[in-house]
Amino acid sequence: MRLSKIIAVGGVVALAAVMYLMIARVYPFNWAIVLRYRKLFLEGLWVTLKVSGVSILISFALGVIFAVFRVSRIEFLKDIAGLYVWFFRNTPLLVIILLTYYGVGTIMNLDRFWAAALALSAFEGAYMTEIIRAGIEAVDPGEIEAAKSLGMSEFQVFSTVIFPQAFKISLPPLIGQMVSLIKDSSLASVIALQELTMMGRQVGTRTLASFESYIIVAFLYILVTSVISVSGRIIERRMSLS
């Protein structure tokens, strides 16, 4: 670890410690009570990981499909993809979750988990669409023409030339979007999904130690998103070397 990074981390830790001591003068922290409910925090974390994992897979699939539509020569497909991106990028996620649960969920008999997963997938998929589209358009046209000159079909050109390079180009912003998705999953608490934020709220209500409860919730989110970010950097480095 570089010296500058060590100093920065030390500064953040020192600032957090000072703030904690200042707050402790006026607020009686009671960690023992909150930690008795650690099982609820772990259950909430597990639900958050599940809904986020499912949403990441579906949103990535949607991103690839609509990104292909966006660069298609068929105007109808381009219009459909453009409308999808326009709608979901200009509508708050909270509204999307409520519309999905109380609207689509009622029609299709979706439970809270799948309503949240589909809402997150559709919303984040719009952003992934634009990220992947930019990656596709960044591929050198000369390589595409060379592949076509070798007699490759459109599908072969896309699967062996365009998509691998577009994915490598898009990986850093895709990792950032996955981190955003995990944080955005906290909004699923509005439909009473028993994810991490909802469990933190319940523990805070039961123990009257809301501050301690939300500190634990924040720490767990930071832990998960940090693991995703570091893993993404490792994958990015390995792909750049290949």
Q: Which residues of 176-191 are buried (b: 16+ CB within 10 A; e: fewer)?
A: ebbbebbebbbbbbeb
Rounded to the nearest 5°, which phi and psi values hold at 191?
-105, 20
In angstroms, the CA 196 to CA 217 distance is: 7
Task: Please say if the pLDDT value at position 46 is more than 70.
Answer: yes
Q: What average pLDDT is seen over the chain? A: 91
Is the pLDDT assigned to residue 94 strictly greater than 90?
Answer: yes
Confidence tier at 79 by pLDDT (50, 70, 90) = very high
Structure confidence at residue 78 as a pLDDT band (50, 70, 90): very high
pLDDT top residue among 219 and 7? 219
- CB-based contact 110:101 (threshold 8 Å): yes
Q: Which of 8-12, 113-117, 233-237 has the highest mean pLDDT?
A: 113-117
Is the model's pLDDT at 222 over the cut of 80?
yes
- How far apart CA 70 and CA 76 sit, in angstroms, is 10
Write out pLDDT tens, residues 182-198. 999 999 999 989 999 99
What pLDDT does residue 241 have?
63
* From 45-49, 61-65, 88-92, 167-171, the region with the lowest mean pLDDT: 167-171
Q: Which two tokens stand for residue 182?
A: 């995990």
183: CB partners within 8 A, 6+ apart: 221, 225
pLDDT in tens, 143-180: 888 888 888 888 888 888 888 899 999 999 999 999 99
pLDDT at residue 1 in the model? 57
- Report CA Rg, the chain: 22
pLDDT for residue 88 is more than 80? yes
Query: What is residue 152's predicted lDDT score, i.e. its pLDDT?
Result: 84
**pTM: predicted TM-score of the whole model, two decimal places:** 0.90
Higher pLDDT: 5 or 228? It is 228
Cα–Cα distance for residue pair 51/59, rounded to 1 Å:
12
Residue 146 pLDDT: 86
- Chain segment 110-153, per-residue pLDDT in tens: 999 999 999 999 999 999 999 999 999 998 888 888 888 888 88
